[in-house]
Chains A and B, each alone.
Chain A
């Protein structure tokens, strides 16, 4: 009976109704933001600083409120790429994603699974804890052990750390991500072939593949973006469809779609160009501009793709939105484009997402009919200029946010004379111009297998940024195969 009561009480104390859940999420995310902000400030200011004091007070107040409402300690935990507060998974939004990512990275760096703030925590303890936590010494040995030792030495008893437990992960994450990329091409090729032969698509395998893609995006997003720089591998349509699938899933995740939706979106993006099986190769690969008849045939591929999906016996197992996306990915935001509906007067959300990433990947890919290709940055600019009529402006903005000023895979010239390839974005919105860059030449232009440098790092002696991007370059003009540099990491 007592156990039942305890169990009941425990359940009831947790967020139960929708309103409770929302309120808890809001309070939890606020706490996370405060933690993140104070951690950043603690990196550069001591606790006596006004900014530190102000943010410290806000964090303490958030913690205090939470501890007052809960019997348990306030425990922030990483669980397989999610952040949990007192066992409740926190949901990020488009605006808070960088903060989530940053906090998780900081905890992982310190080999932590959890940080718990206990009842009885004082402001003084918190103010002493944060600088210790924020410090990132590049010393030998376990960061966790050093951190714990410093906490013990500082007599901070109301903050507890939990060391990260080892979970089985692939030995070479990049290699596995690359394998999934190529497997996707194999699977899509096989699916196309089966469709041509009148057989069904292996929906179950496709679904598992999308789940795996999602996992890789969560665990290795930057590398996944790097892989989408691979173009024209095997048949264009296959490579392109896989790129679109990856980008769409990543974008959908940022927009806040849930897991089930993301798998559906991935499948829809995967098969969005299925209709091209009906388009003669000589039209697909024509080096010159298409004439009116050829254009008409080309513009049939969306509805042909939708038709194929309708006719598939497994269409019930395929997400409905796959049909939408196949049909609508060339319909513009103002409902022009092709094909023209006779009745339907809207475009599905997934179609809007795929349209954007489809366009982006297409115009950044060299084709026989398009010898001059846009760089990723140029593509984003062009898309922003065409936003209103062509694309949904909100989703496009989110996509630009996702890709960054210098998208991963951008070839950039640095102020040092070095040339590099952007390998990761800076999660700090204010440091969007300072991504992480893999150096591929020295200052004299000699190709090297250079370090990966963080452009946000400052020269300790001068306090100035060591390197800055001076210009984005067009890889095609320099014969640089960007994807090779990512594949080299596998």
Chain B
């Protein structure tokens, strides 16, 4: 097989032709590459324009490598060269591809046969990614080195790095309290000088003890050589003859078998793997905590804790709540390890904890939630658990904003668990602008054991949302305690008549005399007459349900009150009284109703009869 070389010249004429062809092809490739890079900067990688350029470039390389094994591209400041000829130029610094490579020290790029589309795309993506990085991070040489392409190499002489390092030196060596650089390092170029003459002048006389240890000296008779050490057997050769100069015994350390056995290889692999899967954030926090633990100087401790705080806030701003939670846990743990004699350091840590659990944390979270992107709700809520009740308002806002039922469920569970011991915190989350959450708040408050949550439902008396108030009324109506009644009584003053009616209907019988007296007093007020029939009925029905003597007397009196002239309001009062007596359902009430069937007013008489009939069908009157 004919050996392959970058060019395959046969004679001078062929050389000229081949060079021209090489240059033409290189020009073609590099123009295409520049276009591909430009396209990739403008469009996403799967855009048709990008794909077309990349396809074209890949084809050109494939075709090139059919003839040549390698493309060597010289990198000048604003141009690429091949075989000494300029093949591409772009002097616009900001976008010039040659300059992009040149600025970081690249002087030659090599593309080898074997370069396929996959590797080419990786290379182009790398160029694009690095070009978009800011300032000191956009080093293409560093990126190429890290990428370690199999079929793309580069030459970047160390002089570039040397200039960079030397440029960072101070202008003069007159910095205070610092030793001067040795003279050979103080020059711009590093010239290392050794006195060669010194190395080949004089003698080295071995000490007697070292001479004794020699097993063979010129002219000495041969000696029996010692056995070769374990693990260092010489090659399978004829054994050294008795007069073969032998080696001295090597160091004890080196006689051990230097090769790792299988178990050791596995152990090594495990160590490397473990190192690779370290959680870097956790390690950073651990190390910082250890540093704080060891440091005695308080101001330095504070500085380290500030670093931790900054780190914590950064992580929060990125939505890394698990990390943030871990920081809090770690700081608390550190605190617990400090003894009483370190009270000042304890105070520092307490201050740090306060900041970790303070408003800035919430600000970071709030800023994050407003930006699009997915949030790890589980991690966020776990983080909120650490911060405690101060996060409830934020959680409430999230609930309203989120439509995902699963997320909402989790947020509710958080709210419920956090506010369980102080229902007022939960109650305060409800307001007219959070109808969905407010409904849930009602449910939670009602569901709390005993009357813990009920009293807080009074807050809804001030709400504007009708549905919410209705919900509260229904919830309170299902209970049979004085607190519920008290709140329901409050709804009797609601501006909305339907709510007032519902509240009245939901009121439960009470033995609280003052409440009955108060209601009778209100019902006696002329203003009461202005209420609708339905409302009057609802309220007087409640009075009836109390089955109290006061209520009976009021209802009987109201039923029997007639006026000289027809009065619709009075009629309604009498009809409402009938409803009250019907609700009461006692023997006395039935007697009153029977009397009513014989009283004035046809409507009243009919109503009483109907009421009696309903009482009768419901069962014997209670005596």
Minimum CB distance partner of B280 in chain A = A320
Whether A324 pairs with B287 at a CB distance below 8 angstroms is yes
Asked if A464 is at the interface (CB within 8 A of a chain B CB), the reply is: yes
The CA of A91 and the CA of B195, in the complex, are separated in Å by 42
Q: Which residues of B contact A348 (CB under 8 A)?
A: 275, 278
Asked whether, in the complex, the Cβ of B251 is within 8 Å of the Cβ of A324, the reply is: no
A89 contacts B by Cβ under 8 Å: yes
- Binary contact readout A118-157 vs B (1 if CB under 8 angstroms, 0 otherwise): 1000000000000000000000000000001000000001
CB pair B254 A380 closer than 8 Å: yes
* Complex alpha-carbon distance, A235 and B181, angstroms: 10
> For the complex, is B518 an interface residue (Cβ under 8 Å from A)?
no
The segment from B25-33, B92-100, B207-215 that touches chain A is B207-215
- How near does chain A come to B159, taking the closest CB pair, in angstroms? 9
Which residues on B sit within 8 Å (CB–CB) of A17?
Answer: none
A68 contacts partner chain B, Cβ-Cβ < 8 Å: no
Question: With A310-B304, A324-B283, A324-B287 known to touch, is A79 a contact of B151 (CB < 8 Å)?
Answer: yes
A55 an interface residue at 8 Å Cβ cutoff? no
Least distance between A76 CB and chain B CB atoms (Å): 13
Identity of the chain B residue whose Cβ is nearest the Cβ of A466 in the assembled complex:
B245
Is A413 interfacial (CB-CB < 8 Å)?
Answer: yes
Nearest B residue to A483 by beta-carbon distance?
A: B194
- Check A445 against B206 for contact (C-beta < 8 Å): yes
Residues of chain A with a CB closer than 8 A to B213's CB: 470-471
> Are B210 and A163 closer than 8 Å at their CB atoms?
no
- Specify which of B190, B195, B232, B307 is in contact with A179 (CB 8 Å cutoff): B190
Give how many A residues have a beta carbon under 8 Å from the other chain's beta carbons.
137
Contact status of A449 and B259, CB under 8 A, knowing A343-B333, A470-B248: no
Q: Interface readout for B207-246 with A: 1 if CB under 8 Å, 0 if not?
A: 1001001111110000000000000111100101100111
Interface centre among A323, A443, A444 (most CB of B within 10 A): A323
Known A311-B307, A327-B291, A406-B250; contact A186-B185, beta-carbon cutoff 8 A: yes
Query: Given A79-B153, A381-B254, A419-B204, A401 and B216 touching (CB < 8 A)?
Result: no
Structural contact, B253 and A383, CB atoms closer than 8 A: yes
B178 at the interface (CB under 8 A from A): yes
The yes or no answer to B108 lying at the interface (CB within 8 A) is yes
Which of B112, B136, B268 sits near A255, CB closer than 8 Å?
B268
List the count of A-B residue pairs having beta carbons below 8 Å apart: 334
Stretch at the interface among A56-64, A102-110, A208-216, A282-290: A208-216
Q: Which of B141-149, B425-433, B439-447 contacts A (4 or more CB under 8 A)?
A: B141-149
The segment from B164-172, B408-416, B495-503 found at the interface with A is B164-172
Return chain B residues, CB-CB under 8 Å to A384: 252-253, 256
Q: How far is the CA of A7 from the CA of B201 in the complex (A)?
A: 66
Complex CA gap A490/B193 in Å reads: 9
Chain A CB within 8 A of B417 CB: no
Q: Which of A183, A339, A416 has the most B CB atoms < 10 Å from its CB?
A: A183
Taken residue by residue from 277 to 312, chain B's Cβ proximity to chain A (1 for < 8 Å, 0 otherwise) reads as 010100110111111011100001001100100000
Q: What's the tally of chain B residues with a CB closer than 8 Å to chain A?
A: 117
Residues on B with beta carbons closer than 8 Å to the beta carbon of A406? 250, 254
Nearest-Cβ distance from residue A408 to partner chain B, whole angstroms: 14
Q: Which residues of A contact B288 (CB under 8 A)?
A: 310
Given contacts A260-B146, A349-B275, contact A441 B194 (CB under 8 A): no
Return chain A residues, CB-CB under 8 Å to B114: 84, 87
Say yes or no: is B6 at the interface (Cβ < 8 Å to chain A).
Answer: yes
Query: Residue B12 at the A interface, CB < 8 A?
Result: no
Q: How far is the CB of A299 from chain B (nearest CB, A)?
A: 10
Q: Flag if B166 contacts A186 (CB, 8 Å).
A: yes
With an 8 A cutoff between CB atoms, is B274 at the interface?
yes
B199 near A381 (CB under 8 angstroms)? no
Chain B contacts for A235, CB-based, 8 A: 179
CA distance A464 to B247 in the complex (A): 13
Instruction: Check A20 for interface membership: any CB of B closer than 8 A.
Output: no
Mark contacts of A256-284 with chain B using CB atoms, 8 A cut-off: 1 yes-contact digit, 0 otherwise. Answer: 11011101000000000000000000000
Between A and B, 16 residue pairs with Cβ closer than 8 Å are A182-B190, A205-B168, A209-B165, A233-B182, A307-B304, A321-B275, A342-B334, A343-B286, A344-B286, A394-B271, A406-B250, A413-B206, A415-B246, A417-B214, A464-B241, A471-B210
Q: Residues of B with Cβ closer than 8 Å to A?
A: 1, 3-6, 59, 69-70, 107-108, 110, 112, 114, 116-118, 136-137, 139, 141-142, 145-146, 148, 150-151, 153, 155, 157-158, 161-162, 164-166, 168-170, 175, 178-179, 181-182, 185, 190, 192, 194-196, 198-207, 210, 213-218, 232-235, 238, 240-241, 244-248, 250-254, 256, 258-260, 264-265, 267-269, 271-272, 274-276, 278, 280, 283-284, 286-291, 293-295, 300, 303-304, 307, 333-334, 337
Q: With A185-B185, A380-B254, A470-B214 given, can you name 13 additional A-B contacts, CB distance below 8 Å?
A: A11-B116, A93-B265, A179-B190, A204-B142, A323-B287, A341-B290, A343-B334, A377-B253, A394-B268, A406-B254, A415-B214, A432-B258, A484-B199
Question: Which A residues are closer than 8 A to B by beta carbons?
Answer: 3, 7, 10-11, 79-80, 82, 84, 87-89, 93-95, 116, 118, 148, 157, 160-163, 165, 167-170, 175-176, 178-180, 182-183, 185-187, 189-190, 193, 202, 204-205, 207-209, 211-212, 215, 233-235, 255-257, 259-261, 263, 300, 303, 306-307, 310-311, 315, 320-321, 323-324, 327, 339, 341-344, 348-350, 352, 377-378, 380-385, 392-395, 397-398, 400-401, 404-406, 413, 415-417, 419, 428-433, 440-441, 443-449, 463-465, 467-473, 477-478, 480, 484-485, 487-488, 490
